A and B are shown apart, each in its own frame.
Chain A
Amino acid sequence: MLKFILKRLVLLIPTLLGVVTLVFFMIALAPGDPARVMLGERANAEQLAQLRSELGLDQPLSKQYLLYISRIIRGDLGKSIVTQQKIIDELSDRLPATIELAITATIFASILGIVLGVTAARRRNSWVDYSTMTGSLVGVSMPVFWLALVLIMIFSIGFDLLPTGGRMDVRLYFKPITNYYLIDGIIMWFREGNSDYFISALKHIILPTVALGTIPLAIIARTTRSSMLEVLKQDYVKTARAAGVPEGKVVFRYALRNALLPVVTVIGIQFGMLLSGAILTETIFAWPGIGKWIYHSIGARDFPAVQGGILFISFFFVIINLVVDLLYSVINPRIRLK
C-alpha cells in the first residue's frame, strides 16, 4: 500500500513539470513583444529594454526556461505588472475566498446530488427519477455565467432577497480571523453575540454556491443514480434481502456504501474543477478570489500574473486529483488490502 502511494507521488513530478513547461510556453510563444504589450504604446526604448531584461526576455529560450523552473521551485512566481506586488502573495491572499466558495459549492452539490441520485435509483421511472435526470441534463447544458446572471436577476434584483456580489456587507467592518468568512462569522457570533457577520456572509455565499454548484450537482446526481442502479442489481444485495434485512437498511447501509465508491471520486474531481473553473462565477459575483484576479489580469494583459495564477491553480488541481486517487484506493477494501 505504501509502495503504491510512493509510486504515485513520484509520478507527480513529471506531471507537474509538464504543467510548468506548458505554462512557460504561454509567454514564450505569445506573439508580439510582451514587454511592449505590457507597457503599452507610449513606452520608450529604455523602458522596454529594462522590462525585457527584468523578465529575462533577452536570454535564449532554454536559459529562460531553466530560470523559470528555478524560480518556481523557490516559490517565486514573479511580480504583477499592474500592482507590482509579488504574485504569490496576491494569490495567497485570495486563496481562502476561492476555497471557501469551492468547498461550499461542493458540499451543496454532493449532499443534494447524492440524495437525488439515491431517490431516483430507488424509485426508478417515477417522476422523481425523470425530473432528476432531466434536471441534470439541463444543468450541464447551460453556461455557468449565464446561470449566475439569471440567479442575480431573479433573487437579487427581482426579489431583493440576496446581495448581488461580494463576500460580506461592506458596512460590516471586521478583522478577518481565519479568512473564511463563514467560520469567522460563527466565531464572531460566539464571541460578541452578534450574528450579523455570519448572516451576511451566508447571504453572500448562497447565489455563487448555487451557480457554481449546479453542474457538479447534476453530475453527482447522475453518477449516484447509475452507480446505485448497478449496485442494486448485484447478488450481495439479494443476499442481504434473503437474510431478512429490512429494505431501508439494505439500501442505505449495504448498497449505498458500494454505490458511493465511484461517487467519491467524482466529488473529488468536481472539487478540483471548481477550484480551477470558478473564474467566471467569481467575476460575476465580484467574489474576491483567485478566479476574479485572473480575469482582471487577463483584461489588463498582465501576463506574469495570468501565468502565475494559472500555474498556481494547476498545481492544486494536480494535487487534488492525486489525493482523490489515493483516497479511492484507501476506501475501497479490494484495493486497500491486496
Chain B
Amino acid sequence: MIETTTKNEAAVRQEELLGIDNLNVSFHTRRGVVKAVRNLRLNIKEGETLALVGESGCGKSVTAHAITRLVPMPPGVIESGIIRFRGTDLLKLPDKEMRALRGSKISMIFQEPMTSLNPVFTVGSQIAEVFITHEKLGKKEAFAKAVELLDLVKIPDPGKRALSYPHQLSGGMRQRVMIAMSLASPEPGLMIADEPTTALDVTIQAQILQLLTELKARVGMALLLITHDMGVVAETADRVAVMYAGHKVEEAAVEELFANPRHPYTLGLLKCQPSAPSNRGANRLSSIEGSVPDLLTLKEGCPFANRCENVKKECLSSFPEITRISENHEFSCHNPVTGSGDPR
C-alpha cells in the first residue's frame, strides 16, 4: 500500500556504507585548473538518505561522479582522497571490480531522463542490459525481469511499455525507467540520485520522490540525493550536507539544520525558499546577494566571503576549521550565525 511516511528512521542502520575522506578533485582545463571538490569528508550510513545541497557548480555532482568513478579523466584528476564503500577503497579498486559494483551495489540516476536513455534501444532492453551484465542472465529472462521492474516503479502496462523507445514516454516515465535500471540488483547498497527531479514538472516531482522513498525502504538501500531544492531535502532526507564552491560548509540532521542553521550560506538558502516564513507575504523572494565565484580564480580563504553578511577579516585569509556542535551537526565558519536564527 502507498504509505506517506517519508522518514524511515527505523531502517537506518548504524554501519557505515560510504565514507569519503579528504577528497580533492580538480579539472585541468585549457584556461587553468578548477578545484571542483576540496577536502571533502562525508559519510553515509546503511539505509539512510543523505542530501547533498548547493548551487550549480558547488561540486556536488562531481562528488557523485567521483564515487562511481565516472569523472571524465582527461580533464579531471582525483588529487587525493579515500572513498570507502563497505570497507573497500573505491579509488584503489581495479577497473573490473569497480565495474562489477556499478549498477549492482552502487547505482546512479541522472538529471535529464531524455538524454540519459539510449534513443535507439527499447527501454526494456536497456533495463535488461543491467541484468545481463551483472547476473549473466539470458536475453529473454533479463527482459522478463525488466518488465517486473517496470511494474515495481509503477509504470502502467509494463509488458507493452518495455517495448517502447525513450522518445515515446513522458519525462516522468523515463525517470521511472532510470530508477528501475538502478534497482536491477538483488541488494543495491547505495543509490545516487543526481538532481532526479529538477527536469520534471512539479506534480511529477512529488510522485518520483515518493517512489524513491518507498523503494528505498522496501529494498533497504541508502540514498545520496543531490539537489539544490531545500524543499525536496525537507521531504526526503535524514541528513543534509551543504556544499559551496567545492567545500562542505555545514552538515546536520535535517530537523537540526532547518531549526538551527549555523553557516550564513545555509541560512541564506533556507531563507530563499518560497515557503520560508521570511518570504510569507513578502513582495519579493529574499535571495543571496552576489553570485557564485569563478572557480578558476579562487583564492585562499572562505569562498563565500564576498557574499557573506557575517564576513570577518579571517574569512579572507583562511578556510575555517570544522566545528562540531553535536554528534549530528558540524560546520565550517569563522563567524557562524548564532543559534537563534530560526528561519522557520
Interface residues of A (CB under 8 A from B): 234-236, 238-246, 249, 254, 257-258, 261, 332-334, 337
Q: Write out the residue numbers on chain A whose beta carbons fall within 8 Å of the beta carbon of B104.
A: 244
**CB–CB A242/B115 < 8 A:** no
**CB–CB A337/B168 < 8 A:** yes
> In angstroms, how far is the closest chain A Cβ from the Cβ of B113?
9
**CB–CB B70/A238 < 8 A:** yes
**CB–CB B116/A246 < 8 A:** no
> In angstroms, how far is the closest chain A Cβ from the Cβ of B230?
26
Q: Given contacts A238-B110, A239-B181, are A334 and B103 in contact (CB under 8 A)?
A: no
CB of B134 within 8 Å of the partner chain: yes
Q: Write out the residue numbers on chain B whose beta carbons fall within 8 Å of the beta carbon of A258.
A: 118-120
Residue of A243, A257, A261 touching B107 (CB-CB under 8 A): A243
Q: In which size bucket is the chain B interface?
A: 20 to 34
**CB–CB A242/B133 < 8 A:** no
A244 to B108, alpha carbons, bound, how many Å? 10
CB proximity to A under 8 Å, residues B151-196: 165, 167-168, 178, 181-182, 184
For the complex with contacts A241-B70, A249-B133, A257-B121, 14 further pairs of A-B residues with Cβ separation under 8 Å are A236-B115, A236-B116, A236-B117, A239-B118, A242-B70, A242-B102, A243-B102, A243-B129, A243-B184, A244-B134, A245-B103, A261-B120, A332-B120, A333-B165
CB of B99 within 8 Å of the partner chain: yes
CB of B112 within 8 Å of the partner chain: yes
> In angstroms, how far is the closest chain B Cβ from the Cβ of A45?
69
**CB–CB A235/B181 < 8 A:** no
A257 to B99, alpha carbons, bound, how many Å? 22
Interface CB pairs A-B, < 8 A, 20: A235-B115, A235-B116, A239-B110, A239-B126, A239-B178, A240-B118, A242-B70, A242-B107, A242-B108, A242-B110, A243-B103, A244-B99, A244-B134, A245-B129, A258-B118, A261-B120, A332-B120, A333-B120, A333-B167, A337-B165
Q: Write out the residue numbers on chain B whose beta carbons fall within 8 Å of the beta carbon of A242.
A: 68, 70, 102-103, 107-108, 110
**CB–CB A246/B99 < 8 A:** yes
A257 to B126, alpha carbons, bound, how many Å? 14
Q: Write out the residue numbers on chain B whose beta carbons fall within 8 Å of the beta carbon of A236.
A: 115-119
CB of B146 within 8 Å of the partner chain: no
CB proximity to A under 8 Å, residues B79-119: 99-104, 107-108, 110, 112, 115-119
**CB–CB B167/A334 < 8 A:** yes
A97 to B100, alpha carbons, bound, how many Å? 53
A88 to B121, alpha carbons, bound, how many Å? 46
> What residue in chain B is nearest A249 (Cβ atoms)?
B133
A337 to B116, alpha carbons, bound, how many Å? 19
Q: Write out the residue numbers on chain A whose beta carbons fall within 8 Å of the beta carbon of B315.
A: none
Max chain B Cβ within 10 angstroms of own Cβ: one of A238, A243, A254, A334:
A243
A285 to B256, alpha carbons, bound, how many Å? 85
A242 to B68, alpha carbons, bound, how many Å? 7
> What residue in chain B is nearest A331 (Cβ atoms)?
B120
> In angstroms, how far is the closest chain A Cβ from the Cβ of B106?
9
Q: Which 6 A-B pairs have the closest CB atoms?
A: A244-B103, A243-B103, A244-B102, A235-B115, A236-B118, A242-B108
Q: Given contacts A245-B103, A337-B165, are A240 and B129 in contact (CB under 8 A)?
A: yes
> In angstroms, how far is the closest chain A Cβ from the Cβ of B224?
13
> What residue in chain A is nearest B110 (Cβ atoms)?
A235
Q: Write out the residue numbers on chain B whose beta carbons fall within 8 Å of the beta carbon of A333.
A: 119-120, 165, 167
CB proximity to A under 8 Å, residues B282-306: none
> In angstroms, how far is the closest chain B Cβ from the Cβ of A288?
42
A89 to B274, alpha carbons, bound, how many Å? 81
CB of B130 within 8 Å of the partner chain: yes
Q: Write out the residue numbers on chain B whose beta carbons fall within 8 Å of the beta carbon of A254.
A: 118, 121
Q: Write out the residue numbers on chain B whose beta carbons fall within 8 Å of the beta carbon of A257.
A: 120-121
**CB–CB B133/A244 < 8 A:** yes
Q: Write out the residue numbers on chain A whose beta carbons fall within 8 Å of the beta carbon of B167.
A: 333-334, 337
Q: Given contacts A235-B112, A238-B70, A334-B167, are A244 and B117 in contact (CB under 8 A)?
A: no
Q: Write out the residue numbers on chain A whose beta carbons fall within 8 Å of the beta carbon of B100.
A: 244
A235 to B199, alpha carbons, bound, how many Å? 14
A258 to B167, alpha carbons, bound, how many Å? 14
A238 to B113, alpha carbons, bound, how many Å? 12
A332 to B184, alpha carbons, bound, how many Å? 27
> In angstroms, how far is the closest chain A Cβ from the Cβ of B336?
37
Q: Write out the residue numbers on chain B whose beta carbons fall within 8 Å of the beta carbon of A239.
A: 110, 116-118, 126, 178, 181
A8 to B115, alpha carbons, bound, how many Å? 30
Q: Write out the residue numbers on chain A whose beta carbons fall within 8 Å of the beta carbon of B130.
A: 243-245
> In angstroms, how far is the closest chain A Cβ from the Cβ of B291?
27
Give per-residue flags for B211-225: 1 if the beta carbon is below 8 A from chain A beta carbons, else 0: 000000000000000
> What residue in chain B is nearest A124 (Cβ atoms)?
B74
> In angstroms, how far is the closest chain B Cβ from the Cβ of A194?
45
Q: Write out the residue numbers on chain A whose beta carbons fall within 8 Å of the beta carbon of B99.
A: 244-246
CB proximity to A under 8 Å, residues B252-271: none
A240 to B108, alpha carbons, bound, how many Å? 10
A333 to B126, alpha carbons, bound, how many Å? 15
Q: Write out the residue numbers on chain B whose beta carbons fall within 8 Å of the beta carbon of A249.
A: 133
> What residue in chain A is nearest B96 (Cβ atoms)?
A246
Q: Write out the residue numbers on chain B whose beta carbons fall within 8 Å of the beta carbon of A246.
A: 99, 133
A235 to B116, alpha carbons, bound, how many Å? 5
> What residue in chain A is nearest B132 (Cβ atoms)?
A245
Q: Write out the residue numbers on chain A whose beta carbons fall within 8 Å of the beta carbon of B133.
A: 243-246, 249
Q: Write out the residue numbers on chain B whose beta carbons fall within 8 Å of the beta carbon of A332.
A: 120
> In angstroms, how far is the closest chain A Cβ from the Cβ of B275?
31
Q: Write out the residue numbers on chain A whose beta carbons fall within 8 Å of the beta carbon of B178.
A: 239
A191 to B233, alpha carbons, bound, how many Å? 77
Q: Write out the residue numbers on chain A whose beta carbons fall within 8 Å of the beta carbon of B115.
A: 234-236
> In angstroms, how far is the closest chain B Cβ from the Cβ of A268?
18
> In angstroms, how far is the closest chain B Cβ from the Cβ of A256?
10
Q: Write out the residue numbers on chain A whose beta carbons fall within 8 Å of the beta carbon of B118.
A: 236, 239-240, 254, 258
A258 to B118, alpha carbons, bound, how many Å? 8
Q: Write out the residue numbers on chain B whose beta carbons fall within 8 Å of the beta carbon of A337.
A: 165, 167-168
Residue of A238, A244, A334 touching B116 (CB-CB under 8 A): A238
